[in-house]
């Protein structure tokens, strides 16, 4: 192994200035931005090695998603748009924590162990969100990439799903689309407009939303969408970057607090949308005649989408296996509805989109959503081919042909590479338009069980370990027994605890039949882990 290849990597500007250990978690590295410079530098180095190892372009996104402004983070994107492979998460953690004096030997070790041909060219596609710390961290990452002579495509300010899209397009020679932001906007908006045709409204559906962009990078993308969509969808933009990022706004705030974000007018029964700081999560909400807040979260979106695909498959006469993937945070009401009413197979996996994505790949058409609104639909290649060919089949009846063409078009509206708040919003809008539904009709399909989440700060969150898709605790011993005892007192009760992968806390989730009891249940369970 050519260790001279790594001669340029020692750089005093990016030496490790603090001793704290940092881990590549649910969504990469995420912590206070002022301790991240050396991590970004090292991830620049690692992205080059990953690109050489995979002989393909790698993505590097600088963001801390729904976290507040002082945080930042970085995640690497693998060639097919997936999150970084699990075995490399460990490599990333080791590289981020190694002493400066051992940096070169660790890089040599990684290259040898992973059998990397260092003579292969590397390309890293890089994007960042709107945080004030992002340019400094970008500089660090670029320095890392340059130290190993990697090629750089800097996309500037982009949403996380836009970065994933460009990575996939680059690695598939444009087969998935044009690897540019213009390519992204034109692909999604052209199909949205063509499905809608000239009937902008339909039945109870009125074409317009109030969009809370979390004061993040999604506001920039939303403005572009608005430009491309012309008047087909009226997007009224709030929290467009003039306020504080994710502060009392954005998808995470709305989902967890179950309340209106700042600045959104409480007009009755108007469809409102919140996205998060890097625009990979989306939730809907509205306020009813009695000023009551109603949330339509990722579970609602997943069920709407799965039901629509089921309907199109049945009507078109195409036989493909449809499945839905959730996590333990999915509301019990949604899971019952999917299994008992929709009768679509449903799987539960641990938190983190990489787990959902992997499981969804097992279905011909896999719909996956976290309750917080992070999700998409993915198709096996054979399913895509079947959908395309079916739409061309001349033996179909008029009804079958119409459903079949819709299926083909809706497929093109989806950013399959990762959960994409704005592409998901266009998908929801398309389905509501097709059905002629307003937001209350959408909500009518099932009732959510009252639910809540708490955060508990403990000395070491990793003492809690879980199994069965995080629904049961393995350690500390007896904790699960105690949780079960409490839960059994509540009708339709369910509660679980797990360490967060993105914050230094334990999360407690609780749901039960009675809205007046649900906080009590959560507090009782939380008291077990204090
Ligand atoms: P953690 O902090 O591990 O719970 C949170 C979300 C995940 C996922 C990641 C990445 C919840 C309960 N958890 O993970 O679903 O979106 O952030 O952003 O919403
Ligand atoms: Zn996000």
Distance, CA 280 to ligand 2 centroid (Å)? 5
- pLDDT tens profile 160-214: 999 999 999 999 998 999 999 999 999 999 999 999 999 999 999 999 999 999 9
- pLDDT (mean) for 482-486: 98
pLDDT of residue 501: 86
For ligand 1, is residue 251 a contact (CB within 6 Å)? no
pLDDT of residue 3: 65
CB 275 within 8 A of CB 250: yes
Q: What's this model's pTM, rounded to 2 decimal places?
A: 0.96
**Closest-lying ligand to the alpha carbon of 277?**
2
Ligand 1 atom 16: the closest Cα is on which residue? 352
Distance, CA 245 to ligand 2 centroid (Å)? 12
Neighbours of ion ligand 2 (CB under 5 A): 65, 276, 278, 280
CB 161 within 8 A of CB 82: no
Residue pointed to by tokens 């500037």: 156
CB 495 within 8 A of CB 521: yes
CB 246 within 8 A of CB 36: no
For ligand 1, is residue 208 a contact (CB within 6 Å)? no
DSSP 149-183: T-EEEEEEE--HHHHHHHHHHHHTTTSSS-SSHHH
Instruction: Choose the catalytic residue: 3, 15, 51, 65.
Output: 65
- Eight-class DSSP state of 85: P
Tokens representing residue 272 in the block: 């409102």
- pLDDT tens profile 201-241: 999 999 999 999 999 999 999 999 999 999 899 999 999 99
Distance, CA 174 to ligand 1 centroid (Å)? 31
3-state secondary structure 295-340: EECHHHHHHHHHHHHHHHHHHHCCCCCEEEEECCCCCHHHHHHHHH
Other residues' Cβ atoms within 10 Å of the Cβ of residue 54: 19
ipTM of predicted complex: 0.98
CA 13 to chain centre: 33
Ligand 1 atom 3: the closest Cα is on which residue? 501
CA 375 to chain centre: 5
CA distance 326 to 348: 5
For ligand 1, is residue 372 a contact (CB within 6 Å)? yes
CB 26 within 8 A of CB 501: yes
Other residues' Cβ atoms within 10 Å of the Cβ of residue 178: 14
CA 374 to chain centre: 4
Ligand 1 atom 7: the closest Cα is on which residue? 352
What is the helix (H) or strand (E) element at residue 195, kind and residue range?
Answer: helix 181-196
pLDDT of residue 25: 87
For ligand 1, is residue 183 a contact (CB within 6 Å)? no
For ligand 1, is residue 65 a contact (CB within 6 Å)? yes
- pLDDT (mean) for 433-450: 97
CA distance 29 to 365: 31
């Amino acid at each position: 192994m050519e260790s001279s290849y790594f001669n340029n990597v020692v750089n005093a500007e990016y030496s490790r200035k603090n001793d704290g250990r940092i881990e590549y978690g649910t969504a990469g590295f995420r912590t206070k931005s002022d301790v991240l410079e050396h991590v970004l530098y090292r991830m620049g180095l690692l992205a080059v090695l990953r690109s050489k190892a995979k002989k393909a372009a790698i993505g590097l996104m600088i963001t801390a998603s729904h976290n507040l402004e002082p945080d930042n983070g970085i995640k690497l994107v693998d060639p097919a748009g997936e999150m970084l492979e699990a075995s490399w998460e460990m490599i990333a953690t080791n590289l981020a924590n190694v002493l400066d004096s051992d940096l070169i030997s660790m890089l040599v070790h990684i290259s040898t162990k992973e059998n990397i041909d260092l003579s292969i060219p590397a390309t890293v596609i890089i994007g960042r969100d709107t945080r004030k710390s992002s340019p400094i961290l970008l500089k660090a990452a670029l320095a890392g990439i340059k130290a190993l002579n990697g090629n750089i495509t800097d996309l500037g300010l982009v949403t996380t799903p836009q970065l994933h899209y460009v990575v996939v397009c680059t690695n598939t020679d444009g087969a998935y689309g044009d690897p540019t932001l213009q390519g992204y906007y034109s692909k999604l908006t052209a199909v949205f407009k063509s499905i809608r045709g000239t009937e902008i409204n339909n039945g109870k559906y009125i074409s317009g939303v109030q969009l809370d962009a979390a004061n993040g990078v999604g506001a920039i993308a939303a403005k572009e969408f608005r430009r491309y969509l012309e008047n087909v969808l009226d997007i009224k933009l709030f929290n467009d970057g003039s306020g504080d990022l994710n502060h009392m706004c954005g998808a995470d705030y709305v989902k967890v607090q179950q309340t209106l974000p700042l600045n959104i007018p409480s007009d009755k029964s108007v469809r409102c949308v919140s996205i998060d700081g890097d625009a990979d999560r989306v939730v809907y909400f509205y306020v009813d005649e009695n000023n009551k807040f109603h949330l339509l979260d990722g579970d609602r979106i997943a069920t709407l989408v799965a039901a629509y695909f089921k309907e199109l498959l049945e009507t078109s006469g195409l036989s493909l296996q449809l499945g839905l993937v959730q996590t333990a945070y999915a509301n019990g009401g949604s899971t019952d509805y999917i299994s008992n009413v929709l009768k679509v197979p449903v799987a539960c996996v641990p938190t983190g989109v990489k787990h959902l994505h992997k499981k969804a790949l097992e279905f011909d058409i896999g719909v996956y959503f976290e309750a917080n609104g992070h999700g998409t639909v993915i198709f096996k290649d054979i399913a895509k081919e079947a959908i395309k060919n079916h739409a061309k089949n001349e033996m179909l009846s008029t009804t079958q042909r119409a459903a079949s063409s819709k299926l083909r078009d809706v497929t093109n509206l989806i950013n399959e590479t990762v959960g994409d708040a704005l592409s998901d919003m266009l998908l929801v809008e398309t389905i509501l338009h097709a059905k002629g539904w307003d937001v209350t009709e959408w909500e009518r399909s099932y009732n959510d069980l009252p639910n809540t989440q708490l955060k508990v700060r403990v000395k070491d969150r990793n003492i809690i370990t879980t199994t069965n898709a995080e629904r049961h605790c393995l350690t500390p011993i007896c904790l699960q027994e105690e949780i079960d005892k409490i839960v059994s007192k509540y009708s339709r009760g369910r509660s679980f605890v797990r360490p967060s992968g993105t914050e230094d806390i334990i999360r407690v989730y609780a749901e039960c039949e009675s809205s007046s009891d649900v906080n009590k249940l959560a507090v009782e369970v939380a008291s077990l882990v204090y």
